[in-house]
Amino acid sequence: MYKIFVNDNPLIIVNKLTDANDFRHLEVCEVYSIDTLESTYQQFASRPGRPGLVLYYNGNTDTLFDAFKALFLNLEAAGGLVKNINNEWLFIYRFGHWDLPKGNIEENETPAQAALREVTEETGISGQYITNELPHTYHTYLFKNHKVLKHTYWYSMFYQGNEFLKPQTDENIERAVWLGKTAVENIMPEVYASLRPTITDVLKLNSGR
């Protein structure tokens, strides 16, 4: 199964109808030919109010996903959900959304290295370290008339320092803040939909600490 967020709405690729039945609350569509995939995507992307779309394909799911990727310029990024010694979580505010620090992976850089670097560049802290790998996310957007599919690697991190946060303003980051569990729950409607399940799961795992 693959889940791609389009305008903050999920497009889910599965390989048979029985899998699609797990998503009865969403619109379900069978893909008879991968040649129709682009028009199906365009119809979905042009109607942002739809709750979500499940595409099922009686074949190899990877084949359908590879065909989907071929419609886009593909980029890879990495970022982190950082916790400090006060049980607070590091968030940035950019483009009207609360987000986690992240950025594109550079040449000859591993996703983990990119995630650590981007956290430092976007928030000003250093010395954080990775504690766990989190689920990857996919989302699409338009950039200079190009359709982009971004694959983001996410990591759970821990930070023991007390440096002042310095949002990277030249990357349009307006704020970088530490938020406690209640504050994170309050801002969740302004967090990108692709990140909400991961953040919620991590908060639940840490609620007893």
How many domains does the chain fold into?
A: 2
State both tokens at 60: 């190899």
Is residue 140 in a domain? no
Determine, yes or no, domain membership for 143. Answer: no
Of the residues 69, 88, 107, which one is the last residue of a structural domain?
69
Query: 62 with 97, same domain?
Result: no
More confident residue, 89 or 54: 89
Q: Is residue 58 one of the residues assigned to a domain?
A: yes
For residue 129, the domain's CATH number is 3.90.79.10
**Which domain range does residue 158 map to?**
79-135+152-206
Count of CA atoms in the C-beta half-sphere (13 A) of 13: 23
Is residue 54 in a domain? Answer: yes
For residue 143, what are the β-bridge partners?
146
Residues 131 and 161 grouped into a single domain:
yes
Q: Is 10 found in the same domain as 106?
A: no
Residues 166-175 pLDDT 10s: 999 999 999 9
State how far the alpha carbon of 180 is from the alpha carbons of 89, 174, 187, 188, in Å. 6, 19, 11, 12
Label residue 54 exposed, middle or buried (CB < 10 Å: 0-12, 13-18, 19+): buried
Query: Any idea what the Cα angle at residue 2 is, between residues 118 and 139, rounded to 5°?
Result: 40
Last residue of a domain, one of 19, 36, 69: 69
DSSP one-letter code for 208: T
Domain endpoint, select from 69, 100, 115: 69
Give the phi and the psi of residue 106 in degrees, each rounded to 5. -85, 165
Render pLDDT for 143-179 as a digit per residue (tens, 0 to 9): 888 999 999 999 999 999 999 999 999 999 999 999 9
